[in-house]
Structure 1
Amino acid sequence: GLNIHFLHVKPQKVPSGVQVVPLLLLHGWPGSVREFYEIIPILTTPQKGRSVVFEVVAPSLPGYGFSDGASKQGLGSAEMAQIFNKLMQRIGFKRYYVQGGDWGSIIGSDISVLFPDHVIGFHSNMCFVNSLMSNLKLFLGSLAPIIINASQLEIEINYPLSAKYSFIILETGYMHLQSTKPDTVGVALRDSPVGLAAYIIEKFTTWTNPAWKDLDDGGLTKKFTLDKLLDNVMIYWVTSSITTSMRLYSENFNKARRNSGIDSLPVLVPSGCSRFRYELAFLPRFVLKDKYQKLLTLTGHEDGGHFAAFELPEVLAKDVFDFVEEERKSVQIKQEL
């Protein structure tokens, strides 16, 4: 088996009438549990007017940070979903909420599809759909925006499609490299702390606000501190986990994953999506509702990027609280009916 590192934070001094609910919090690449240091205290502190507070479990993904990497091929997001469901059961949570971005979103989606009886609800700050139908809908929306009933922000971000796809192609070169040759680039990054820092921190510029890449310092200190960014880099460096972390791409973008059909299956548990303006995937409601069939909350923020928990912890925490309370309200209404 694999040793899985995780943070487990319980709320203190919970007022009467406030229920503690379990939340599995999942990071992605090139992040780590360091992304959650600012949001966890908010989630685990009772908030005025809120009926719930969270007991947070935030694991390092297998092959990331202080969690063991696989010794053989075959550990993709679906397998990680099984590991994390088992982790939550062992801690004592038969049912729980899930929140994630980046790979955390994909793993969270897989958990929700594979273990719907255990997932109370799923929230993500990178709700993603990549199907023939979703891409066709986006294309039709570019021809006749009036038929898609999209918000002004959704239209601004997704159209024209040529600009959107040009940006995606520009920013996903790393993905092709890590999906095909993760060990090759891993050797170089594991041997150079400066190279590793440059490779990782560049993402915190272009994925937080693409306009920052034209600034002398990449705009890094506009939303982060250098200490916080280097904390994240050091987790990869001291654990020599950059290579094993990148292998997740090759384990997912392959024939076996496509043949599994899991990406085409809908998420049937109650879901919520937070969308931040500079996220790589800011999809409109008319696309998302095909996959997330019980979409209870959907927010669109004028600011923010890929690392929402790290960049705007208060904003994301509010969305998570709102989603869970909406889910609980919907269950109560059903019970009353």
Structure 2
Amino acid sequence: MWWLQIFAGLFLAGVIYWVINRKNNEKLEMKDAWWGPGSKSSTREDESIRPFKVETSEEEIKDLHQRIDLTRYTPPLEDSRFHYGFNSNYLKKVVSYWRNQFDWKKQVEILNKYPHFKTKIEGLDIHFIHVKPPKPPAGHKVKPLLMIHGWPGSFYEFYKIIPLLTDPESHGLSYNQIFEVICPSIPGYGFSEAPHKQGFDSVAAAQIYCKLMKRLGFQEFFLQGGDWGSLICTNIAQMAPLQVKGIHLNMCFIDSGTFSVFVSLLLGRWFPWLFGFQERDLQLLYPAKKILHYIFRESGYMHIQATKPDTVGCALNNCPVGLAAYILEKFSTWTNSEYRYLEDGGLDKKFTLDDLLTNIMIYWVTGSIAPSQRFYKENLGQGVGVQKHSKMKVFVPAGLSAFPYELLHCPETWARKKFPYLCSYTHMSRGGHFAAFEEPLLLAEDIQKFIGTIKGK
């Protein structure tokens, strides 16, 4: 009965095709939501886009200085450097600069050099900067690029990379791609209003940004992010795959195929070819015990913020020096974990104090440290890998910059489990977690490389 065999074969092929196609078409649902205070009004939400300007006052600066002057310091242990957290001897030097030399008014002018806006979406006032090319060259299509920050960063992380993307020629670069860049503040961070309801996670943020890009008139756009920005960008691509032309990340959340990842980590050192590991992967992953030690040493903040963020948030929101120590310690060890062996935490190796304190001031003047920490509870409070999006792949062109001092290294073979259409993977020569802040040129070059690989770009 050869015709039955042919029929059975065609039927099986059809089932396989249906399953694969169904998986490829699976996407996150776009819903109506309300994160503002109280119940949603029956009147239509104001969708206007309003210019916004960062401002300060003498009263704000005076209050900051008074609080700094009342700081009590705990002497560090002898030769402890940054092993116990932020060393208070060096903290005094940072605070002295903050109190006596740091010019917040000047930094506010720098913040305002790019156009700021606000618009209401789902009951929240969403802040973003929108930077267009000053002189787009003829024959080049300007590409919209949504760049999303993470914790404990802010939109300010992108200030050095923006001109490399929007005006490369003026900076001696001959890139083929010209971008207009949109950098929002995550709701609850900086100048974006904090959610008033429980449950605002990365998917909720992704939905707001999809609506933001539509409101700005973009039918298609590109994405870039690290830290929480990486997860939010991933969710946007899962929610609007037809609108997202490409997603570029400098941190990859491996939340699908966890068992196979564990097995590959367990056996990959001896059978690297079996799991697709490159020599550089072996250097960054092994000995595997260093990963476990690193997670134990560096993840205490995550447990606190994923369980009781408001408790520590109350302390940090009232003490500027405590806020600075809490955040700047991450800019030390997340840039390079070996910096904990240095007396100054290596903070001046990649950053200036003006840049670091400007980021601190964005948290301080907006009182946003507690709302920003709640984002951990909303995303991790119910467990890791339990959300629908964690089990979904991303079926849009993807690129990944693997910086050597990122919190956890993600080999290309792992990234492909989440991003089947990965068309650019780069082992970066230097840099850590805050890629756009630390190495804007390297990141800009890799974004350009990635966009150049996308067909029909």
TM-score, structure 1 normalization? 0.95
Paired position in structure 2 for 1:69? 194
Matching residue within 195, 198, 211 for 1:86: 211
Aligned to 2:435: 308
Q: Please tell me the residue identity of whatever aligns with 2:227.
A: D
Deviation at 1:166, TM superposition (A): 1.1
Amino acid at match of 1:136: V
Residues 99 and 122, structure 1, Cα contact 8 Å, conserved in 2: yes
Amino acid at match of 1:39: I
Counterpart selection for 2:358 from 231, 235, 256: 231
163 and 219 in structure 1: CA distance in 2 versus 1, 3 angstrom threshold: same
Which piece of structure 1 moves more, 136-145 or 241-250?
Answer: 136-145
Instruction: Tell me the CA shift for residue 13 of structure 1.
Output: 1.2
What's 2:451 paired with? 324
In 1: Cα distance, 2:174 partner to 2:374 partner: 43
State the alpha-carbon separation in 1 of the partners of residues 208 and 266 from structure 2. 37
Report if aligned partners of 1:128, 1:281 keep a CA contact under 8 Å in 2: no
Measured in 2, the distance between the counterparts of 1:35 and 1:202 equals: 16
Q: Pick from 380, 386, 393: which aligns with 1:253?
A: 380
Given that 1:278 and 1:306 are in contact with CA atoms closer than 8 Å, whether structure 2 keeps it comes out as yes
Larger mean CA deviation between 131-140 and 110-119 belongs to 131-140
Please, which of 7, 15, 37 is the counterpart of residue 159 of structure 2? 37
Contact 2:403/2:431 (CA < 8 Å) preserved in 1?
yes
The residue that corresponds to 1:9 in the other structure is 131
Unaligned runs of 5+ in 1: 333-337
What SS class does the counterpart of residue 21 from structure 1 fall into?
strand
Q: What does residue 170 of structure 1 align with?
A: 297
Q: Identity across aligned pairs (percent)?
A: 49
Match of 1:331, SS state, is: coil
> Distance between the aligned counterparts of 2:363 and 2:229, measured in 1?
17
User: Cα distance, 1:260 vs. partner?
Assistant: 3.2
Given residue 162 of structure 2, which amino acid in structure 1 is its aligned partner?
A: I
Matched to 1:70, the amino acid is P
Cα separation, 1, equivalents of 2:434 and 2:133: 24
1:128 aligned partner: 253
Cα distance change, pair 227–117 in 1 and its aligned pair in 2 (3 A): same
Residues 64 and 241 of structure 1 are in contact (CA less than 8 Å); yes or no, is this contact kept in structure 2? yes
Query: Which one of the candidate residues 19, 24, 42 is aligned to 2:141?
Result: 19
1:40-64 CA deviation, whole Å, 9 max, x = no partner? 1111114454332000000000000
CA distance in 2: counterparts of 1:294 and 1:258, whole angstroms: 21
Cα deviation, residue 74, structure 1: 1.1
Counterparts of 1:106 and 1:28, CA distance in 2: 9
Other-structure match for 2:338: 211
The aligned residue for residue 320 of structure 2 is 193
RMSD: 1.4
Please name the residue that 2:8 is paired with: none
Does structure 1 retain, via aligned residues, the 8 Å contact 2:394–2:420?
A: yes
Give the CA deviation at 1:261: 1.9
Deviates more, 1:82-91 or 1:141-150: 141-150
**Of Structure 1 and Structure 2, which has the larger fraction of its residues in helix?**
1
Contact 1:81-1:108 at 8 Å conserved across structures:
yes
- CA pair 256-140 structure 1, distance change in 2 beyond 3 A: closer
Q: Distance in 2 between the 1:238 and 1:213 partners?
A: 29
* Partner Cα separation in structure 2 for residue 261 and residue 301 of structure 1: 31
Aligned length: 330
Contact 1:18 1:50 in 2 (8 A): no
Shift of 1:259: 4.2
Three-state SS of the structure 2 residue aligned to 1:4 is: strand
Contact 1:137–1:287 (CA under 8 A) maintained in structure 2: no
How far is 1:256 from its partner? 8.0
Paired with 1:243 and 1:149, the residues of 2 have a C-alpha distance of 41
Letter in structure 2 aligned against 1:103? W
- Between stretches 147-156 and 52-61, larger displacement belongs to 147-156
Unaligned runs of 5+ in 2: 1-122
Pick which of 98-107 and 37-46 moved more.
Answer: 37-46
Using the alignment, how far apart are the partners of 2:239 and 2:363 within structure 1?
30
Name the structure 2 match of 1:114: 239
Q: Indicate if the aligned counterparts of 2:307 and 2:381 stay in contact, CA closer than 8 A.
A: no
Partner of 2:223: 98
Which string of whole-angstrom CA distances, capped at 9 and with x for unpartnered residues, describes residues 175-230 of structure 1? 00100010000001001000000000000110001111111111111110001000
Matched position secondary structure for 2:130: strand
The answer as to whether partners of 2:385 and 2:391 remain within 8 angstroms in 1 is no
> 2:415 corresponds to which residue?
288
**Aligned-partner Cα distance in 2 for 1:49–1:202:** 37
Per the TM alignment, residue 331 of structure 1 is displaced from its structure 2 partner at its CA by 3.0
Q: Could you tell me the TM-score, scaled by structure 2's length?
A: 0.70
| Equivalent position of 1:147 in the other structure | 274
Larger Rg: 2
Structure number with the bigger relative contact order (C-alpha 8 A, sep ≥ 6) is 1
**Displacement of 1:92:** 0.7
CA distance in 2, matches of 1:305, 1:249: 21
1:148, distance to aligned residue in structure 2 (A): 2.4
1:137 aligns with 2:259: no
Match of 2:150 among 6, 17, 28: 28
**In the alignment, is the contact (CA less than 8 A) between 1:280 and 1:306 conserved in 2?**
yes
